[in-house]
Amino acid sequence: MLPPPEEINYAAGADWALSLRSTVSFDTVGRILRRAGTVTWGSSPQFGPGFPQFRFNPGEDLHLLLGSVGLKVNPFGNMLVTANVLFPLMKHGLTDNLTWMAGIDYSF
């Protein structure tokens, strides 16, 4: 049984106050899976470029990089409305093109 691959995770972000009741945020989230292997789509070594296929590349590092943009608004009192969008910044790995989230918080 093989041990899990080594990982390097990192994140950077900033929040900017648009007004007293609204904030916009920008974030970058990255992950490197060392020696996890990658999968590429390309020409077949056996049949040539007319027959592309998936090819596993063992031992290569997998780099994943995502970006996020969000907005928080305090419309009144103890209510907070939040919306975020997550999107890939690189075309490596299995990721969704766009992931969104919306929420409403209220404290009593």
- Statement: residue 5 has pLDDT above 70: no
Q: Are 67 and 99 in contact (CB under 8 A)?
A: no
CA distance 80 to 70: 13
Over the range 15-46, which residues count as b (16 or more CB within 10 Å of their CB) and which as e?
eeeeeeeebeeebebbebbeebebeeeeeeee
Long-range Cβ contacts of 94-101 (<8 Å, 24+ apart): 95/64, 95/66
Query: pTM above 0.75?
Result: no
pLDDT digits over 52-103, tens only?
888 888 888 888 899 999 999 999 999 999 999 999 998 876 778 899 999 9
Question: Token pair 């997550």 is at which residue?
Answer: 86
